[in-house]
Amino acid sequence: MAIRPTPDPAAPRCIPSPRDRQGIVLLTTCDLAGGRSAELLRLLGSVQHAMQAAPLTIRHYILLQRAPGGPPAELLAAAGDTSCVMAIGDRVSLSRARNLLLCRARQEGALSRALWVAFPDDDAWYPQGVLAEVNGLFSAHGSLALVTCRYGADPVPLQRGAATRAFRPLRGYGDLVRVVSSNTLMVRASVVEAVGGFDERLGVGARINGGEDLDYALRALARGNGAALVAADPLIGHRDRMPWVRSRYFAGSLFALARAARSRPRLTAQMLRKLAVGVSLLALRELSARELREGIRAGLGGWFTPAPAISLPDREPVHPARR
C-alpha cells in the first residue's frame, strides 16, 4: 500500500523513525476510585494476549489516580513485567495524566526506542490482530506518521495481512476529524517526540472539556506532513459512542479545530462544520442557548491561542509503584 500524504504546504517535513526503532508504547490512566478496575484488567489481558500471539515488544505505562495506597496486587500481577505501573493519591486532568506518562516513558528511554505510541483508555481493549497489523503498517511505511480507526463495543478482529484492506490513505481532514479518538490515535514515536505533550487546557478535568485527542492528532498530522492511514471499521474495543459525547466535548473540539485552522486554512471547513453541529445540538436540545454561547466563546478562543510548545521534562514526575 503506497502512502500518499495529503499535501499541506504549512506542514513541516515528516519525521521518520530510525530503522532500528522497534516496539510499542501504550499510555493508560485509570481513576482507581472510579470503579473501572475490571475494565482495566480486560485491557491488560488483551495486551498480554497480543504479545503471546505475535512477536511484539510492548511497554505499557499505567497511571493510577486516587490510589493513595498504591496499586492493588491484582493489577500488578495482570500488568506483568513489561508494564510500568505508577500511582498518585489525587486526581488530575486527562491531559496532565498523559503528560506524566509521556515524561516517564521519555525518561526511561522507551520513546527513543519505540516505533509507535497509542493512548488507550482504561475501558478500551485490543481485539485479535490489531496491534500486530498496525505495527506492520508502521514498520512497512517509514513516512507514515499516524494511524486511526473507529472504535466500538463489537470491534472487528484483523486477520494476518488484513490491514492493507482495512486501512486507506487519509483523503482529507474530515476523515480524521470524524474518526479519531484517544483510543484510536496511534502515532509514530519520533513524531510524538517532536509534538511533545498534550495541551493541559483541554480534556476531561481541564478548563475546556474534551478536544485534547483531536488537538494532538492535528499537531501530529502536521509534524508528519499529512501521512496517515484511516479505517472506517471499528477495530479497537470500547463502549459505543454515547449521544452526549457531541455536546460534552463540543467546546474542546471546536478549540482544537479553530487553532489548527489559523495556520492551516484547509481546516476552516471543519471548524465551520463544528459550529453547525453546535447549532444542531441546540435545536435538538442537547445544548442550551447558554451552553452553546459559552462553548463557542471558549472554542473560538483557539483561533487566538498559539499551539503549545510542550516539551517533556527529564525529571521523573511521579514515583513508579512498579517498573
Those residues whose C-beta lies under 8 Å from the C-beta of residue 112, and which sit 6 or more positions away, are 106, 189, 193
Kind and range of the H or E element at 236? strand 228-237
Long-range contacts of 273-276 (CB under 8 A, 24+ apart): 273/174, 274/250, 274/299
The confidence score (pLDDT) of residue 20 equals 67
Global pTM value: 0.88
Answer yes or no: are the C-beta atoms of 52 and 146 closer than 8 Å.
Answer: no
3-state class of 147 per DSSP?
Answer: strand
Instruction: Count other C-beta atoms under 10 Å from residue 203's C-beta.
Output: 26
83 beta partners: 60
Residue 32 in contact with residue 198, Cβ under 8 Å? no
The helix (H) or strand (E) run that includes residue 8 is none
Q: Are 153 and 239 in contact (CB under 8 A)?
A: yes
Tell me the three state secondary structure of residue 156: coil
How would you classify residue 5: left for phi > 0, otherwise alpha for psi between -120 and 50, otherwise beta? beta
Residues 6+ apart with CB under 8 A from 102: 27, 111, 192, 197, 198, 312
> For residue 5, what pLDDT is reported?
41
Based on C-alpha coordinates, what's the Rg of the chain?
19
> Alpha carbon of 218 to those of 153, 191, 259: distances in Å?
26, 12, 10
Query: Strand order in 58-65's β-sheet?
Result: 168-169, 228-237, 146-152, 186-188, 116-118, 24-31, 58-65, 83-87, 320-322
Per-residue pLDDT of the chain (323 residues; tens, 9 = 90+): 444 444 343 444 444 445 567 899 999 999 988 888 899 999 999 999 999 999 999 999 999 999 988 888 888 999 888 899 999 999 999 999 999 999 999 999 999 999 999 999 999 999 999 999 999 999 999 899 999 999 999 999 988 888 888 999 998 899 999 999 999 999 999 999 999 999 999 998 899 988 999 999 999 999 887 799 999 999 999 997 776 677 888 999 999 999 999 888 899 999 999 999 999 989 988 889 999 999 999 999 988 887 765 666 554 444 444 44
Cβ proximity of 184 and 148 under 8 Å: yes
CA-to-CA separations, 119 to 111, 180, 198, 259, 281, in angstroms, rounded: 13, 12, 11, 22, 28
Helix (H) or strand (E) holding 86: strand 83-87
Q: Which of 261, 262, 246 lies closest to 209, judged by CA?
A: 246
